[in-house]
Structures are given as C-alpha cells and as structure tokens.
Amino acid sequence: MRKDVTSGAGRSARDHETRDRLLKAAERQFAERGFRRVTVRDICRAARANVAAVNYHFGGKEGLYREVLGLATEVVRSTTDAGRKAGEGCPPEEKLSGISVSFSTG
C-alpha cells in the first residue's frame, strides 16, 4: 500500500525520481518549443509520468515552468560567480584572455 504524501520532506524516492524526470523533460521541451507549444501531456509522456504528477509536484504547468526557470537561473548565477572568483586578482588582460579561451573551446 502506498503512503499518502503531502510534504516535500515526506516524499518517497520514487516521488523524487518522478519530479526529477518531469523537470528534465520540461526543460528540454520548453527550450525546444516554448511554453505555449508544450503541453503537460507532452512533458509527462517524455518523463514517463502520470499527467496528474505535474499538479502534484508543481501545482500545474506554470509552476513547473517557474521551477525550470529557477533552476536555469541558478546555473547561470553559479557559473557567473565561479567566473568572477576565477578572475579575482588577475589583470584585466588575463581576465579577457580566459573568457575568449572559454568561448573558443566551448
């Protein structure tokens, strides 16, 4: 028998796995097609999840989109912070050299 789950702290490993699959699938779909052209059904199909899982984990498509954007923002922020720290104490020429090398290898 499955335990009733109401809070994030009490969620099972299976719930966390489903949530992670939904986030990954939504990230890909939103990036490729945009918010309006992606349906909850599309995301759930790609994530191998029940359509109700989006409401359960995120309160709906908008909540899922907000979570995807929040995670993307954190990645950009941490990358920017890491770049700043890496360049601390370096002359401007070295900072620019490091940036151009990063772009040319990526």
Each residue of 21-73: pLDDT tens digit? Answer: 999 999 999 999 999 999 999 999 999 999 999 999 999 999 999 999 999 99
Under the banding of pLDDT at 50, 70 and 90, the label for residue 82 is: confident
Q: Is the pLDDT of residue 78 over 90?
A: no
Q: Is the pLDDT of residue 100 over 80?
A: no
Phi-psi region of 91 (alpha: psi -120 to 50; beta: other; left: phi over 0): beta
Length of the chain: 106
Higher pLDDT, 35 or 2: 35
Distance CA 68, CA 5 (A): 22
CB of 38 closer than 8 Å to CB of 65: no
Domains of the chain with CATH codes: 8-105 (1.10.10.60)
- DSSP 3-state assignment of 19? helix
Q: Is the pLDDT of residue 102 over 70?
A: no
